[in-house]
Amino acid sequence: MKPAMNLTLIQTYMQSQSIDGWLLYDFRGSNPILTQLLPGKRWTTRRVLFFIPAKGQPRLLVHHIDHGQFQSPGYPLDNYLTWQDLRAWVAQHAAGRVAMEYSPGGHLPAMGIVDAGTVELVRSCGADVVSSANLVQASVAVWSPSAIAGHARASEHCARIMKGAFDYIRTHHARGADVTEHDVQRWIQGEFAAAQLETADAPIVAVNDHAGDPHFEVSATAPSRIVRGDWVLIDLWAREPGTQHIFSDITWVGYAGRADQLPARHRAVFEAVKAGRDAALTFAQQRWSRGEVTQGWQVDDAARAEIQAAGFGSGVKHRTGHSLSAGPKVHGVGVNIDNLETHDTRELLPGIGFTIEPGAYFHDLGIRLEIDVYMDPAKGPVVTSCIQDEIEFI
């Protein structure tokens, strides 16, 4: 069961940011943030509003038809019948500087949940609407103690399974036996099941040009064989069962041959991506040690600068990392390490997590090196997953 909403944490953060209240709007399940704050039966047919003031008691507004969906919510429950009732409620409660799930200029699509018309409605009632992006992080994206422990256990399993996947290929080659991308994928899935881990999608096992596709999907009917001289990328993610647990999400690469047989270009791209990963982590750690606020876009720039300096900037096809937080998806609701696809100005707040996974992709190979990072409130950015510093030679 999901833990109760931490009202003290939410209100303390709002007060620190001079936010007078947080207005969560939902229409027919449109707002997953509301679902995470108020778990339970939620099959609604009309608009729902949940207002959390910076001081005082939160309260809910639901249409009388949906009243039964919110039995014993723990907060005052108001009903409305007409649109005029709804507007009057907003005008009465949502005053001052009010945060909503909206993204100015559409810069953060993940936070662009509330439609423009509803934002206009709230503003017309006198409120100054601001983005709730960092507020969502400070409440929903923060890892609980149990989530931290579960993530650590999942990370141990994923590290073992990643090593085992390369050993699986190595063993087949030593016997002279065929092995395909699909064979390795199925082996990984079997290991997940044996470890009682869950995953949203099948892992990626990609050979040569397939590795050049960041979201390659393995074919069950016509998978590529993995033979001597091949380049292999493996991306896997899993967690302990339950939406309150955090995924361990890692990517490693390997070469089916000896180190002296590795093409020089493969080595050069690997070193550039590795330098980008390490530069991003070091950048975040150093800013933490100096007490400086760090935003997601800045960490992305630190990684990409290394890859561009090495001459492989044309191979960058995606942001440097995504949020890791509780919820149904691998990609969480917190800050992304991104100044490519979006300009993510959300802060690396204490208690949140994210991946650092720079990559470079070309017609004949792709290299991504992915680690997981937790913003420890006392230590700052710490790596919680295994980390690859050398190519796996199969």
DSSP assignment, residue 139? Answer: I
Question: Mean pLDDT, to the nearest integer, of 320-347?
Answer: 96
- Residue 327 three-state SS: coil
Q: What is the pLDDT of residues 156-168, one digit of tens each?
A: 999 999 999 999 9
Q: What is the model's pLDDT at position 70?
A: 85
Q: What is the model's pLDDT at position 5?
A: 83
Residue 16 and residue 349 in contact, taking contact as beta carbons nearer than 8 Å: no
Q: What is the model's pLDDT at position 50?
A: 97
Spatial separation of the C-alpha atoms in residues 232 and 169, rounded to whole Å: 10
| Phi/psi of residue 295, nearest 5 degrees | -110, 155
Spatial separation of the C-alpha atoms in residues 30 and 113, rounded to whole Å: 7
Structure token digits, residue 93: 């409660």
Q: What is the pLDDT of residues 341-392, one digit of tens each?
A: 999 999 999 999 999 999 999 999 999 999 999 999 999 999 999 999 999 9
Q: What is the model's pLDDT at position 92?
A: 96
Helix (H) or strand (E) holding 296: helix 296-309
Confidence of residue 43 (pLDDT cuts 50, 70, 90): confident
Exposure on the CB side of residue 147, measured as CA atoms within 13 A: 22
Domains along the chain with CATH numbers: 7-141 (3.40.350.10), 145-393 (3.90.230.10)
Residue 91 and residue 120 in contact, taking contact as beta carbons nearer than 8 Å: no
Structure token digits, residue 380: 């700052």
- Measuring CA to CA, which residue among 51, 59, 48, 39 is closest to residue 14? 51
Spatial separation of the C-alpha atoms in residues 299 and 189, rounded to whole Å: 32
Q: What is the model's pLDDT at position 40?
A: 73
Tokens 């409120």 correspond to what residue? 127
